[in-house]
Amino acid sequence: MNRHLLSALVCAALAAPLGTAAQSKTEPKPAGATAANSTDQFVMRDGEVVLRQGSTIKPLSKNAMLADGTKVNYKSGIVELPGGKKTTLKEGDYVTIKGEIVFATPGSAAAARGDQSVPATAQYDTYVDRNSPTSTTDMETRLSSLNSRLTLMARKIQLLNDKISLLSTATQRPADTSQLDQQIKALDEQLQQVK
């Protein structure tokens, strides 16, 4: 019986390193996922997909498979999502390293949905990030506009106070506030124009 136990232990000891080696073997990383960072993008540019890393553009020599299973064909721009759905990138469209598709125009987004009602030449409105730092010129313009609004509003408050005073001191017949009303109306129009 000791002999069988000894044989079993020897077999287990010999098999253990082989099992450990098999477990430590790493699977190959998807193309594009090696040395990638979260801001990398696969961009359709001049009819081919390139890798954009920050401001650096690198041509691709093979198709990319992202960590989530998304496949990007670098020659045709066909993107196959993990669920099997396929779409073709248009100029400027890109795929993030996480497998998210970002469309450069409403036309390319509509084409991906199969919607032909949006013209291919349609453009998105310019996006303004309100949290991004603005230039000195932009800040000066905004401050000037704000100062103009504040001045106009202070004048309107003064006119409204004058109107209240006239109406509260009238005894038998209401005071004529038509001139104040015209001035208030003119200030309201000016306030509408100042942005």
Instruction: Tell me the C-alpha distance between 104 and 24, whole Å.
Output: 42
Instruction: Tell me the C-alpha distance between 191 and 7, whole Å.
Output: 95
**pTM of the predicted model, to two decimals?**
0.47
Asked whether residue 185 falls in the same domain as residue 153, the answer is yes
Asked whether residue 57 falls in the same domain as residue 108, the answer is yes
* DSSP-assigned beta bridge partners for residue 87: 79
Please report how many Cα atoms fall inside a 13 Å half-sphere around the Cα of residue 78, on the Cβ side.
Answer: 6
Q: Give the tens place of pLDDT for each residue, 153-190.
A: 999 999 999 888 888 876 777 778 889 899 989 988 88
Residue 19 lies in a domain: no
pLDDT of 195: 66
pLDDT of 15: 46
Q: Give the tens place of pLDDT for each residue, 86-123.
A: 999 999 999 999 999 998 888 888 888 888 888 877 77
Residue 9 lies in a domain: no
Its domain, for residue 62, covers: 41-113
Asked whether residue 109 falls in the same domain as residue 140, the answer is no
Q: How many CB atoms lie within 10 A of CB 72?
A: 25
